Structure 1
Amino acid sequence: MDGKTHFIVGGIAGIGVSSYVGVELPTAISYTLLGACIGLIPDLDVKGTLSNKISLNKNWIITLLALLGLLIIVNSYTLYKDFDRWLGFGLGLALLIFPPFLIKQKYMLLLTGAASLLIGVSQQSTWLMMLGVYICVAALLPHRSLTHSLIGLFYFSLIGYYLEKDFQMNGILLVCVVSYASHLLLDMKIFPKNRRGVRLLQPFSKIEI
């Protein structure tokens, strides 16, 4: 399924949980948005809508390095002579030429996960630390691997547990579980649109459902 469908169904799951738990309207709206975002979470293992939204934008980094390269070239010309000048030229040109080929969005996602992990450690926030680990691992995985399995669902359910415990809001865990599970369900072969299914029991089984 595409990202739009996962987003909508995840949001509907959030609405359903809100109705089941019986929360007030502001909380129901929050659960709807949370469910919509979690409906996209398993696809952090592929370059998609959510990974681009939450990760550092590689274009910003490339632009910053290019400006730094130009600054080094100008300073090398005005401040240095002979070998140091040519060394500065070389470094500046390298910063202009190579970053677009070397910096990939998955590395930005990895940095985002690492930042979340460090912030979680500094704030002693278990759910944020676990989310940081999830993002880092997802950035390195091929599509529809562990994030699309029961292991992924269980791990994210733990994140939901600690998130609910931290915010003291009944229903957050259920939103996390149902919205995440909705993504796995929509990616199954029972829907004709899906060429591939999901391997729920990986890494123990390669059977697609």
Structure 2
Amino acid sequence: MTGKTHVAIGVAAALTISYNQPVESQLVLVTSAAIGSLIPDLDHPKGKLNQKLLLINNNFYRALFYLSISSIFMYLYYRMGNKIFMLLSLVSCLVGISSHRSFTHSIIGFLLASSIIKMGTLKFNLPSIYTGFVVGYALHLIADSFNPKGIRLFYPIKANISFPITIKTNSKAEKTIFLLLSIYCICLLFNYLR
């Protein structure tokens, strides 16, 4: 699925979960779900976030960028001894060397990314960020499981997992899903304003 559809899925779920919560909590949950829904595609040079982060959108530069980031985090870990930097280094390295729909689309990738967010949000008592991130990330994996190519859910095992019913990226079915989710989100937002 395209980045905008992943964001629409994450935002729709976050708006649903945050219904009747204070506006600040809703905003945090929706924003973190939107970001969480884009994180798995860091393994693709043309993913929405990589379009903003990378100067050149190809696999070589993506690998170089994330391996460099990994080195910086490892340096910070050795200087400060904070375990979050070690995890960030590991995840950055794996993002740099993995192919699309492999590490970041796996249970291991999900658990590592979620652990990093949990460690960061526990320190500042921000559970809404963690919840939104987990919802966005998990729904991204579920949505990509409907792709005919599937995802390597059990990475490093090379088997691709996909649902029997498939939806091609940027197909009419995906565009319909995006449209319906957008209408649903607008209806929820109008309902909030009442």
User: How many residues align structurally?
Assistant: 159
Aligned 8 A contact 1:126 1:162 in 2:
no
What code does the residue aligned with 1:10 have? Answer: G
Correspondence 1:199 to 2:152: yes
SS at match of 1:171: helix
Aligned 8 A contact 2:63 2:95 in 1:
no
SS at match of 2:113: helix
SS at match of 1:39: helix
The residue that corresponds to 2:91 in the other structure is 134
The residue that corresponds to 1:41 in the other structure is 39
Correspondences of 1:10-159 after superposition (within 5 Å): 10-19=10-19, 22=21, 24-48=22-46, 49-55=48-54, 57=55, 104-119=61-76, 126-127=83-84, 129-159=86-116
**What does the per-residue CA deviation read over 1:171-192, in whole Å, with 9 as the maximum and x for residues that have no partner?**
3332222111111111113xxx
For 1:36 and 1:120, locate their aligned partners in 2 and report how far apart those are by CA, in whole Å.
28
Aligned 8 A contact 2:33 2:134 in 1:
no
TM-score, with length taken from structure 2: 0.67
The residue that corresponds to 1:92 in the other structure is none
CA RMSD of aligned residues (A): 2.8
Aligned 8 A contact 2:31 2:132 in 1:
no
Aligned 8 A contact 2:43 2:98 in 1:
yes
Measure how far apart 1:116 and its partner are: 4.5
What code does the residue aligned with 1:181 have? Answer: A
Change in CA separation of 1:4 and 1:117 when aligned onto 2, cut-off 3 Å: farther
Instruction: Extract unaligned runs of 5+ from structure 2.
Output: 163-194
For 2:140 and 2:120, locate their aligned partners in 1 and report how far apart those are by CA, in whole Å.
20
Change in CA separation of 1:198 and 1:58 when aligned onto 2, cut-off 3 Å: closer
SS at match of 1:40: helix
The residue that corresponds to 2:166 in the other structure is none
Measure how far apart 1:109 and its partner are: 3.2
What code does the residue aligned with 1:143 have? Answer: H
